[in-house]
A and B are shown apart, each in its own frame.
Chain A
């Protein structure tokens, strides 16, 4: 596997311009002769589909939900960053670039991140033109807020529903192209396999979720916009159907997978309340601007929070990090919450929660001010937990939220398979080892609206693409592989449910293994143990899973089983990637790599690279390749929040 980043030469600020000039074009009259498949209709997939169709390509777009409007981008709350500097507070493309690369703990590629910052401004203009109702100042200009500890106000928002409004904007552009016939939309279709012809991505096999029938689709290029793999952990803030299958199938066909152990764990989520819990809900981290985090000073103290006097409380973030206090970055806040709970000081019925207390803020600013800032979040919290944060401290606990790792892509967003592109959360591209708040929406739309179109033209314009239809034997071979996989999945269900396990029971077991050994803090010993335990869960799955029903019908258990089968294989590269990366960086702490003050210690001498895994066949350990990261414009610095 050759990792050629294809980053253009020249000064950082001129690379993208230069690259667009040197990229090949496709004559407008010829574009209609080329077909592109887009899998996924989140911000990246919907925006790419609409844009490519506007440019004149024939586009086939696929989504797993009943409508392209429902992809998980819709759940993003906070906002979207852009370097507009509308607030005249010192922001610039350079500063957004720097903040993003520093936030990623210097584990991303300079050129990609700089381009992201450059196109961020176009995104806002595009969304405004579409009629996205961003918040406005009284004078009619766009409003901004500071988000996630940024020192400038560069975040654009539409109430607490920014993701929804941006997605509905992209969905409306997509709908317009569906109406013109340039996009054919295939809802309730799940990608099951990637089809290669002569080593190039030329199509996909999908399963119609309603009928269970397999379909084949051929094209000149395939774009994956299939999101992240946070659901490997079973419990995460991801939507229930979010999965790794499309990316994993591509990996098994030769696409390198980059940094699979880079997973963001968000500190402010509503805690787990029972074994029946199906997903976790994120509460915006803006709450930490006014809330104070504490636990009882004595382990095992089960008194109600109001009965614990001030001197018997441990405001651990404030005492440990006096200058940042409750506003330490996500990873530091998450790790410390876990440490407190591990020390027996956790609260709530499961003892896996810490308090986030607004009592002081209410005393200081008054109830009305606090409600104005956080009213909708308090309401959301009360709806789920039946407790009002005005009168009782909130309980929070970290949860898996976003995956920075993903398919390795070059500067063109192309994977190691020619003709296969990956955009949005499913690539590894821009966030390094940690993602800044309000940057996921920015990256999804940057990739889809403003970058992948150039890449598709360049690829089609510079590649000899023979006529390939779905009659090609590669498609029937791939279909047969999928049929066999489904048969194999259903095999253990013959003979009924006696002594069998459900898909979710096994998924919960995998989730716990990942959470315990590949969560916020990792160590060699634990990861090695996990690698011994994983095959046992895999074996249990294939021998004992019970899936009711058949393959050729609407069968939600079978859908979940197929996704879990891929998570079970994928988990192995998460563990080995974590094992290999013997440094603390970004979102995770490697216990062997700490400073004297027990803080994360990055190791630039040995790990300033992207770890890219190459599939070596079933049962064989994946092979590691490294893309060394070169910093010519910024100097990596160690973080300190003391």
Chain B
């Protein structure tokens, strides 16, 4: 027996696959009791899967979990709770019409009748309020609370169940900056009381501010474990993004033409009224690719959707070919007619109807085009001929336009979308995550197509969470963080670390 106290939690060689996708590969992690540990990584790096395993949502294919040095079997949320693990999910697990105290006791009622449990919870809530400054009205209806207070209820739920280890999944994604500051103060207070906190985030500034130690995940693997005091945002950004096979795309010097898309002071609010895009301004010229670099969830999606007419701006002006787009112009079908095409970020949820045969997806958005039929009717033979042309030009496999779209691989699905949008001779092309979930061969193909399009004079706005891709394809790079454009660099002279800092919001002030 060594004298060092056992780690609060230890993961040993955890692996988990979903079909052919390995979400966690031999992941090990050790978190000291009474510390705040950060886990960073890009979207899809496997952080959430790991935490779901820890909380009993999934069972690992192999590996071991130890709590306080003892191996535990966690097969359900109830097991995790019993082991002293509490979780604050990114999407709160709250019952909105119920009161705070009812939410807190749910699952830990302490008897068939509620009265005793509720009054005990009231006492306990009062104590927690005193210990941690977690003040909240126990009778408030949760749905009427602010997001910050709702998160507080989630934390109280975990503490009420006696959690010693608290996992927070992207806790600041929905918080305002002052709310986030309050949260971090609370986490420090928890630490002072000996609780262990695991903070999952992709915001490097938070890691630097709040954690003692940090682990970096990339593509399902643990890449690094470091003490926060001994690292820097730039080093973390580099570890997150990784030194992949360096993408080098051959491209001629750009022939920059006239400005075609001009955006000034564009802001977007989501349905809850939170500003997702703030005062974005940019200009896109003919014959150039402007890449948006940023960690997912920093306003890039909203930028694409508002430009494509899928969201309406709360402020700002968009000019296409010099003319201001009014509300009537900002609809997807009108924008298509004006020459603005859109390859959406999520091809399965937006870019394609996966239940349709491939051929029918090659006319999505253009199904009113007279060339696809006569009058109100569509001509299957013409649609198939059109689809076959696209399938051949983009080397879609299998070359079967009658096959259900869901049965194509990710790369071939993406080629179908690409063929559809590019072959309509766009003036402006919005491209979201062009190679997400796409195999290497298809990536190269897609990159070459985009370059060819740029050389032909099309203005392209590229959004990608793959920094390599943005660096390799773009002529200019804009970095985004927190809904703002935090800086601009010319691609030839851009430095990956420098961009990483802008993405983390650490560089120059916006």
Question: Do A and B form a real pair?
Answer: no
A interface list, Cβ under 8 A from B: none
B interface list, Cβ under 8 A from A: none
